[in-house]
Amino acid sequence: MRVLAGLVAVLAAAALAAGCLEGKADFSFNPDGSGKVVGELLFPSRAPWLQKRYAPKPADPNAPAEAPPSPEDEMQECVATIIKRSAGIEAWKDVSFQRAADGRVLFKGTAYFKDLSKVKFFPDDRTRISFGPDGTTALLLILNRSKLVTEPPKLARPMSSEDMNKHIKELRDRYQQTKSTVTTDLVGMKLDLVFRSPGTLEEARGLDQQGMTLAYTLDGGKVVQAMDSQMNDSTVLRQWVVAGKSLNVKELMNDRLFALKGEVWARWKGPAKPRFDYQAEMDAAKKAQPQMMLKLGLEKPRDAAPKPPPAPAPAKDTQPARKDAGPAKTPAPPKGAPNLPMPGAPPAIPTPLFPTL
């Protein structure tokens, strides 16, 4: 299953593995960069990171038969994995998931983050959007900014036109051979992003202004078109060859993901007040999250610690109790025996009648 994991960082990774990905994400920011994202996502029920785990294994005659997981179990495991393994999220709230009418999974949730540039929604391994202070009185949102253009490196030795064309053709052939692993499912992806920031909007590039908010639509079909256009640009490929760059379709897609309109960023000027009390909302969500996870079946209840076994009762004395006979008496000597002191007793010394002078 593919979870919203909120939301944008996971989008590219989701598109790589399963198509028909649709959703929306609504971001609210505070002046210090903290924020929350409320979103929902529709995606296929089988998550790519579970396919390997549940792939059929070679038959082992000695191994017990293992029942395949139910769709509900898979769905719960995917949601739990994303929540537990996503980085930069301080708390989750209002998480829900269910099977949609078309068989896909509908995931909804709210995620709180202190710094969006540190957020990585599993299974993606990179951040996609950043937001925070720009100087002392401004706020900056960045989805994509142009990189500093430098002169391409020069070859150690000249390359003939024939060799250059050969390398360019190899890049294009490799792209055609491998792009289906990414672009087939990417075509069906569409996500609507909304950004709400405090302050007064000063300038925006590549974003659509809708009242007090900014919006961006991520269209997978247009991303594929942008990738095709780049591979058809001989000038770009010539620079790749000179720089010794190899083709990586996933990286190419990542580069084009937010670059459809060139630079995509916005800047607000202050003064700015917080849109919501981050600490209070986040603390409440964090406190309620364990119970939410248990209720959704995403966390198993912890078993109570086993009580130690009771100590064995002391063994009872089977001998009859004896009455206290008092202090032991010295046995009388037998008749006719000499009056000798008992062993261990001091000898009897007669007391003199007159003191010794």
**List of residues 6+ apart from 88 with CB closer than 8 A:** 113, 114, 115, 116, 118, 119, 120, 127
Contact 16, 250 (CB under 8 A): yes
Higher pLDDT, 296 or 63: 296
In this predicted model, what pLDDT tens digit does every residue of 133-182 receive, in sequence order?
A: 988 789 999 987 666 555 556 665 678 889 999 999 999 998 888 887 77
Give the range with max mean pLDDT: 70-79, 115-124, 207-216, 330-339. 207-216
* Lookup: tokens for 73: 């179990």
The span from the CA of 38 to the CA of 111, in Å, is 7
The span from the CA of 159 to the CA of 203, in Å, is 45
* Lookup: tokens for 139: 């706020």
The span from the CA of 8 to the CA of 25, in Å, is 8
Higher pLDDT, 308 or 34: 34
CA neighbours within 13 Å on the CB side: how many for 248?
A: 7
Per DSSP, the residues of 57-75 read ----TTSPP-PPPPHHHHH
- The phi-psi region of residue 117 (left if phi > 0; otherwise alpha if psi is between -120 and 50; otherwise beta) is alpha
Over pLDDT 90: what percentage of the chain?
A: 28
Task: Tell me the pLDDT of the chain averaged across its residues.
Answer: 76
Nearest to 105 by CA among 75, 77, 85: 75
In this predicted model, what pLDDT tens digit does every residue of 230-273 receive, in sequence order?
A: 889 898 888 888 888 777 777 777 776 766 667 889 999 988 99
Cα Rg for the chain, rounded, in angstroms? 40
In this predicted model, what pLDDT tens digit does every residue of 334-355 receive, in sequence order?
A: 555 555 554 554 444 444 433 4
Over pLDDT 70: what percentage of the chain?
A: 64
Contact 121, 107 (CB under 8 A): no
pLDDT of residue 51 exceeding 80: no
Strands 213-219 and 190-196: antiparallel
